């Protein structure tokens, strides 16, 4: 029998977060290569060619050189099983990133050595802080011109209110950058050996004296609590510093943590299997029009063929073909443990935020829908494809690509997004995967709020505002307004109703 505790202790489930262009995608490639998950890093083949990475599989990602969906990749390294969740860097996909961060135990924060802390990085860090997720920092692009290293560390410390402790230190800068010195293990990790008289070695010695005098030593308890970040330096492009980062994740990266439910905490080493669906991805293989629900195993052991309870519906079903993902490849998961991320093929049964258990009737919390910031009506170019459009919009909304709202007055559907790039993705996927061509028209609405209250009062409000009422994917009523001022007027005029900006998926609403 498999030793459950030993297997769980080997798991390292982490996300990579960064501002766009900090080098996150290249670092992901190099980590996968170092872990043996891919043989050839694939970010840039030749000058002028667009980025084509192994983790960025969607056409629009390859065309634009950005990540717009979360990729999930599993590999073994240093005696540990790594589940790497590569999140979208673009802020228009912040909701997908937030959901992904509900499924990880730690995060690697990638910072451009020349640019330092950027706005997107700060926002993602704050999400990690809300969940007390331990952060490991990787300062990238040390082979290029960079800011002063001590200034960078001070910026991380001051702007993120986070203690910093260097785990490695760069030897040389920009074109003179040849590797790092491993402070934790007191050894050089360099492309070439340098004499003690080399200016870079002399500079290193002086800087390490300052580090020891001015910065705190690594403290595991402070790191686990999310208060201190070990800092690694390197160049993902030149594959410098990547192995040190992986070694650190194996050595002191947190193993699976307890997860909150509505009623209690679920510990990873509990015997009963529980899992949270945090992501849906359709058409990863266009030839088979598949639909994969990504589940974070939260406790126990998931085995192929086992019967599980789908808490939202109360129904049971068997896990016939759970899958692990290795970049673009996948294989059947015969067995998975707490911390692992598995893909579950399904035909629309599973939704984001769903809980799977062996028996217990519990629901995991913390998976949100935010009120969208942009609302657009969908304009269908070919009226004969109306039925196909309805199906496509429903499937893509279940996947979390957009939020879908159906007006109660029978008007054309409205989609809600955080940023305009989501509309580009929706348009491209409707055309490429469903053969449906659409455009978008502006609406008189700019704000959306879920509404709840006593049934009679709620029905009265809905009846008086029919043109501004839509139903979301779950059939919950949503009130749309043209401005913050008008929304506030409606809130003030209806104190007996609640207007919610956040909806906990599958659970309820928050003010």
Tokens of 452: 């709840």
- Separation between Cα atoms, residue 502 and residue 505, nearest integer Å: 9
- For 111, residues 6+ apart whose C-beta sits below 8 A from its C-beta are 18, 22, 117, 121, 137, 138, 139, 140, 152, 156
Q: Is 348 annotated as a binding residue?
A: no
Alpha carbon distance 32, 73 (integer Å): 8
Residue 25 annotated as binding? yes
Instruction: Give the distance from CA 77 to its chain's centroid.
Output: 22
Q: Does 78 belong to an annotated binding site?
A: no
Torsion region of 322: left, alpha or beta (phi above 0 gives left; psi -120 to 50 gives alpha)? beta
142 is in an annotated binding site: yes
Q: Is 19 annotated as a binding residue?
A: yes
355 is in an annotated binding site: no
Cβ atoms < 10 Å from Cβ of 193: 9
The 3-state DSSP class for residue 397 equals helix
Indicate the Cα dihedral angle 66, 70, 75, 81, nearest 10°: 140
Phi, psi of 312 (to 5 degrees): -60, -40
Query: Within a 10 A sphere around the Cβ of 305, how many other Cβ atoms?
Result: 10
Determine the length of the chain: 511
Answer whether 68's CB lies under 8 Å from 327's CB. Answer: no
**Residues 8, 404: Cα–Cα separation, whole Å:** 38
**472 carries a ligand binding annotation:** no
Q: Identify the H or E element spanning 212.
A: helix 199-214
Rounded CA separation 268/299 (Å): 4
How far apart are alpha carbons 506 and 364 in whole angstroms? 9
CA–CA distances in Å: residue 130 to residues 20, 273, 340: 22, 26, 22
Long-range (24+ apart) CB contacts under 8 A made by 346-351 are: 346/291, 346/292, 346/293, 347/291, 348/291, 348/395, 348/398, 349/310, 349/313, 349/317, 350/277, 350/280, 350/293, 350/310, 351/277, 351/280, 351/293, 351/312, 351/398, 351/505, 351/506
Nearest to 26 by CA among 230, 235, 169, 189: 235
Question: Annotated binding residue at 216?
Answer: no
58 is in an annotated binding site: no
Is 86 annotated as contributing to ligand binding? yes
The answer on whether 22 is annotated among ligand-binding residues is yes
* Tokens standing for residue 26: 């290249």
20 has binding-site annotation: yes
Q: Most distant CA pair in the chain: distance in Å?
A: 83
Does residue 347 have a known ligand-binding role? no
Selection from 6, 14, 29 nearest residue 253 by Cα: 14
Please give the annotated binding residues, written as ranges.
18-25, 86-90, 140-143
Please give the annotated binding residues for GTP, written as ranges.
18-25, 86-90, 140-143
């Amino acid at each position: 029998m498999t030793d459950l505790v030993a297997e769980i202790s080997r798991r390292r489930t982490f996300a990579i977060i960064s501002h766009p262009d900090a080098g996150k995608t290249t670092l992901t490639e190099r980590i996968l290569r170092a872990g043996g998950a891919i043989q050839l890093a694939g970010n840039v083949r030749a000058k002028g060619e667009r980025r084509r990475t192994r983790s960025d599989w969607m056409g629009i990602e390859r065309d634009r050189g950005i990540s717009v969906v979360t990729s999930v990749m599993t590999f073994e390294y240093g005696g540990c099983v790594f589940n790497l969740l590569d999140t979208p860097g673009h802020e228009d996909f912040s909701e997908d990133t937030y959901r992904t961060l509900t499924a990880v135990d730690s995060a690697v924060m990638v910072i451009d050595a020349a640019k330092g802390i950027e706005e997107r990085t700060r926002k993602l860090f704050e999400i990690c802080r809300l969940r007390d997720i331990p952060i490991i920092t990787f300062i990238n692009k040390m082979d290029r011109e960079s800011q002063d290293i001590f200034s960078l560390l001070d910026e991380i410390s001051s702007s993120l209110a986070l203690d910093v402790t260097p785990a490695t230190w760069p030897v040389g800068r920009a074109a003179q950058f040849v590797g790092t010195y491993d402070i934790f293990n007191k050894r050089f990790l360099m492309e070439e050996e340098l004499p003690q008289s080399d200016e870079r070695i002399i500079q290193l010695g002086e800087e390490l004296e300052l580090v020891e005098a001015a910065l705190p030593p690594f403290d595991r308890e402070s790191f686990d609590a999310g208060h201190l970040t070990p800092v690694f330096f390197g160049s993902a492009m030149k594959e410098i510093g990547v192995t040190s980062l992986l070694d650190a994740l194996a050595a002191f990266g947190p193993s699976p943590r307890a997860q909150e439910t509505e009623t209690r905490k679920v510990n990873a080493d509990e015997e009963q299997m529980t899992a949270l669906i945090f992501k849906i991805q359709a058409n990863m293989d266009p030839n088979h029009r598949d639909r994969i629900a990504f589940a974070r195993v939260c406790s126990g052991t998931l085995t192929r063929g086992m019967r599980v309870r789908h808490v939202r519906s109360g129904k049971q079903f068997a896990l016939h073909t759970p899958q692990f993902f290795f970049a673009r490849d996948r294989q059947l998961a015969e067995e998975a443990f707490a911390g692992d991320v598995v893909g579950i093929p399904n035909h629309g049964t599973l939704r984001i935020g769903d809980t799977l258990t062996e028996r217990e009737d519990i629901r995991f919390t913390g998976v949100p829908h935010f009120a969208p910031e942009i609302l657009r009506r969908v304009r269908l170019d070919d009226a004969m494809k109306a039925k196909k459009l309805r199906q496509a919009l429903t499937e893509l909304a279940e996947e979390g690509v957009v939020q879908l709202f159906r007006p109660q007055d029978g008007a054309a559907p409205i989609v809600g997004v955080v940023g305009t790039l989501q509309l580009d993705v929706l348009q491209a996927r409707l055309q490429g995967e469903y053969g449906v061509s659409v455009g978008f028209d502006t609406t008189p609405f700019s704000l959306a709020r879920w509404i709840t209250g006593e049934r009679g009062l709620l029905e009265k409000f809905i009846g008086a505002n029919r043109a501004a009422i839509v139903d979301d994917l779950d059939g919950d009523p949503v009130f749309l307004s043209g401005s913050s001022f008008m929304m506030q007027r409606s809130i003030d005029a209806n104190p007996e109703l609640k207007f919610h900006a956040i909806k906990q998926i599958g659970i309820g609403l928050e003010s």
